[in-house]
Structure 1
Amino acid sequence: MNKQGGNIIPVILFAVILCIIFSCENNHASDKTKIKSIDSVNTNKTKKISHKPYSTFQDTLKVSKPSAVFFHPDSLQLEKIKQQTDSTAFKDLTHVDFYLTQNARNVIRNAWPSLNIIEARSFRYLLFLKKDGSKEYIDLDQYVETFGLFLFDGKKSPKFVDMMNVDTELYFYFKK
């Protein structure tokens, strides 16, 4: 009985080692297949904007009271962006702009109803007038983003915020 039990252990160890070797070899083969399939796919199908087109307007929007200032490209900028990008990418951009802006507006109306909401479509510059008399200019052409949101409380510097996290951004900017 001891002799039989002694012969089984080396056989089991040998079988386990073979299983490990073959399972590792199969993983390498599937990795090579994956790499080949990735290399054969052209991942560079969409054209990227190197820089957003400059604003066609040179006007300045003055903001003097606590506000949420949404900025968007003007119609000619939008047309230039459309020419520079793939049609699918352009549709995605306008879709994201619309829904992020709508969501941010709804959050502001519900959480901070006293906050003034301003739409800036035909402006290149934003001029924020603080309560202490100081001023801050923002040139929207210097921002890569084609649309966005600035928060301003009248005291602190205006802050460009992530519209996906607008509720958190509102809290941290306006908390006393």
Structure 2
Amino acid sequence: MARHDTVTVNETLISQFGVVLDQLRETIEGIPADEWVRGDSGRHTPVRQAVHIIGGFEAYAKRSAGGHFRWGDRWGYKVGAFRAAIPVEELPDQPAVIEYLEQVRTQVDRWLGGIPVDRLCRPRHVASGRFHSYLGRILYLLRHGVLHLGYLNEELRRRGIAYTEFR
């Protein structure tokens, strides 16, 4: 029987989150600068959608005292209120958002790499009541990122702008 290298659960999770973050980065880099802050509504502005995805990854990959998710401060605003709060002229440019993405990627990799496999499915109390295990929280976060990347790509497709294909 041939011997195969094994991949850990943690490495697999890091890899799958990496695919989503790679696709998001490619999408951000491909958006024309004049389309970056334009949208029919605040929700469909590429910059706001991108920051929402990254901010979700940031919040769910760390915890505050009391078990509540913490939304980071960026550009003088709470990321959780980012989609509505920041006036268009104050929105960050693409290089700033890519820098944020890479900072959060490091944080997510560290978080996913540090969860003991035997704790992934162990029942645990979570303040929101939404997740009953680390694995539930991880899978929710991955689904959330893919969903919003899909929203962003659909908006770009609607405008005739190149977008990344699902992989």
Q: Tell me the TM-score normalized by structure 2.
A: 0.29
Instruction: Say which structure, 1 or 2, has more relative contact order (CA 8 Å, 6+ apart).
Output: 2
Identify the structure with the greater helix proportion. Answer: 2
Identify the structure with the greater strand proportion. Answer: 1
